[in-house]
Amino acid sequence: MRIPLAALIGLILTAIYFLAAIFAPLIAPYGVAEVVGQVWEPSSADYLLGTDNIGRDLLSRMIYGGRTTIFIATAATILSFTTGAILGFLATVLGGWWDQLMSRFVDLLMSIPTLIFALVVLSVMPVTVPVLILVMGFLDSTRVYRLARAVAVDINVMDYVEAARLRGEGNRWVIFREILPNALSPLVAEMGMRFIFMVLFVSTLSFLGLGVQPPGADWGGIVKENADGIVYGIGAALYPAVAIATLAISVNLVADWVLNRTTSLKGGRG
């Protein structure tokens, strides 16, 4: 199997980010909270990316920050995708009242403004990382559900699905053998997007006083801490932003490649 160059770059970058996240304490030159220099020092041999808004080593903070960001975003994305897609497909194949019930329930959840929803839910639950992932994944799965259902409904009325049903295949077969392979491309494209949204969402959570506790950090948080300087040519906020962007692009390059492979799997003209 030959991997195209773009996908290779994506894979390598993604791998580097994940490895850096896993081995953060071994790689980072300084501690995440350690104040080592003056405010916003330019990059030097001692501090490869310079220092942040209170004089901590930016590189070390980025490495530790990547850990939180990547872990929470990955876990929440996987959660939202499995729940959202499976329920969406299920609603389609079951059809009728089940479909109406589930779809309208999802509409209901989606129509409550996220801010109010998060405030209410998190006020009655303890704020820990697992709860955070659950809430984020759950809220997001409603969006995935809608897409999965919309795609699946189109597929469900195709002749080959009908054929499968006439053959006497059960719902499980229809979902996993007929709908899933045919719905994969939009879903994979969506997954790449959702991952980015999760990365950004982690940082907006600090607005609610949730998310990552200081002196810890996530990439979005580091952008925010250093954003003041950006307009005066102090680039400290750009590094984490670039990190998010490159991670996003590499994850999506990988997603595109998977998308290509799946379209050719369908046995078209490849």
Which residues ranging from 233 to 252 are in contact with other proteins (CB under 8 A)?
237, 241, 244-245, 247-249, 252
Q: Can residue 15 be called a binding residue for other proteins (CB under 8 A)?
A: no
| Cα–Cα distance measured from residue 198 to residue 78, given in angstroms and rounded to the nearest whole number | 11
From the CB of 104, what's the least distance to other proteins, in Å?
A: 6
Cβ distance to other proteins smaller for residue 23 or 103? 103
| Cα–Cα distance measured from residue 178 to residue 193, given in angstroms and rounded to the nearest whole number | 24
Cβ distance to other proteins smaller for residue 78 or 193? 193
Cα 262 to its chain centre, rounded Å, is 21
Q: Can residue 186 be called a binding residue for other proteins (CB under 8 A)?
A: yes
From the CB of 192, what's the least distance to other proteins, in Å?
A: 7
Q: Which stretch binds other proteins (CB under 8 A): 11-19, 130-138, 169-177, 230-238?
A: 230-238
| Cα–Cα distance measured from residue 16 to residue 189, given in angstroms and rounded to the nearest whole number | 22
Binding mask 40-69 for other proteins (x = CB under 8 A): -------------xxx--------------
Interacting residue with other proteins among 46, 107, 125, 177 (CB under 8 A) = 107
Burial (CB < 10 A; 0-12, 13-18, 19+), residue 251, is buried
Q: Can residue 139 be called a binding residue for other proteins (CB under 8 A)?
A: no
Q: Which stretch binds other proteins (CB under 8 A): 65-73, 133-141, 166-174, 227-235?
A: 227-235
The Cα diameter of the chain in Å comes to 73
| Cα–Cα distance measured from residue 268 to residue 270, given in angstroms and rounded to the nearest whole number | 5
Interacting residue with other proteins among 1, 2, 45, 123 (CB under 8 A) = 123
Q: Can residue 111 be called a binding residue for other proteins (CB under 8 A)?
A: yes
User: Residue 95: how many CA atoms within 13 Å on its side-chain side?
Assistant: 6
Cα 215 to its chain centre, rounded Å, is 24
Measured in degrees and rounded to the nearest 5, phi and psi for residue 265 equal -60, -30
Q: Can residue 3 be called a binding residue for other proteins (CB under 8 A)?
A: no
For 110, residues 6+ apart whose C-beta sits below 8 A from its C-beta are 142, 143, 146
| Cα–Cα distance measured from residue 148 to residue 262, given in angstroms and rounded to the nearest whole number | 16
User: Residue 169: how many CA atoms within 13 Å on its side-chain side?
Assistant: 17
Cβ distance to other proteins smaller for residue 23 or 181? 181
Cβ distance to other proteins smaller for residue 70 or 244? 244
User: Residue 19: how many CA atoms within 13 Å on its side-chain side?
Assistant: 7
| Cα–Cα distance measured from residue 84 to residue 89, given in angstroms and rounded to the nearest whole number | 9
Interacting residue with other proteins among 78, 131, 230, 258 (CB under 8 A) = 230
What residues between 17 and 36 interact with other proteins by CB under 8 A?
33-35
Interacting residue with other proteins among 19, 42, 154, 160 (CB under 8 A) = 154
What residues between 62 and 101 interact with other proteins by CB under 8 A?
100
Interacting residue with other proteins among 28, 85, 192, 218 (CB under 8 A) = 192
From the CB of 32, what's the least distance to other proteins, in Å?
A: 10
